[in-house]
Amino acid sequence: MPGRFDNQVVLVTGGSTGIGLAAAALFVREGAKVYITGRSRQSLDGAAAQLGEQAVAVQSDVANLADLESLRERIAGADGRLDVLVANAGIAENNVLGETSEAAFDRTFDINVKGVFFTVQTMLPLLRDGGAVVLTGSIVAHKGFPNLSLYNASKAAVRSFARSWSNDLRARKIRVNVVSPGPVETPILRNGLKLNDEQLDQFRAQVAQTAPLERFGEPSEIAEAIAYLASGAASYVAGAELSVDGGMAQV
Residues 199 and 208: their CA atoms lie apart, in Å, by 14
Residues 129 and 171: their CA atoms lie apart, in Å, by 9
Query: Homologous superfamily of 9-188+219-244 in CATH?
Result: NAD(P)-binding Rossmann-like Domain (3.40.50.720)
Residues 70 and 50: their CA atoms lie apart, in Å, by 24
- Mean pLDDT over all residues of the chain? 97
- CA trace torsion 195, 197, 198, 202 (10° rounding): 70
For residue 66, pLDDT beyond 70: yes
Type of residue numbered 15: G
pLDDT tens sequence across 6-34: 999 999 999 999 999 999 999 999 999 99
Band (pLDDT 50/70/90 cuts) for residue 1 is: low
pLDDT tens sequence across 154-200: 999 999 999 999 999 999 999 999 999 999 999 999 999 999 999 99
Mean pLDDT along residues 81-110: 98
* pLDDT at site 129: 98
Q: Is 151 a catalytic residue?
A: yes
- pTM over the 0.85 mark: yes
For residue 210, pLDDT beyond 80: yes
Domain ranges of the chain: 9-188+219-244
- CA trace torsion 194, 199, 205, 210 (10° rounding): -50
Rg, C-alpha atoms of the chain? 17
* pLDDT at site 9: 98
Residue of 219 and 251 predicted with greater confidence: 219
pLDDT tens sequence across 33-47: 999 999 999 999 999
For residue 225, pLDDT beyond 80: yes
Q: Which of 35, 151, 228, 236 is catalytic?
A: 151
Nearest to 10 by CA among 160, 217, 229, 169: 229
For residue 152, pLDDT beyond 70: yes
Type of residue numbered 110: D
* pLDDT at site 2: 74
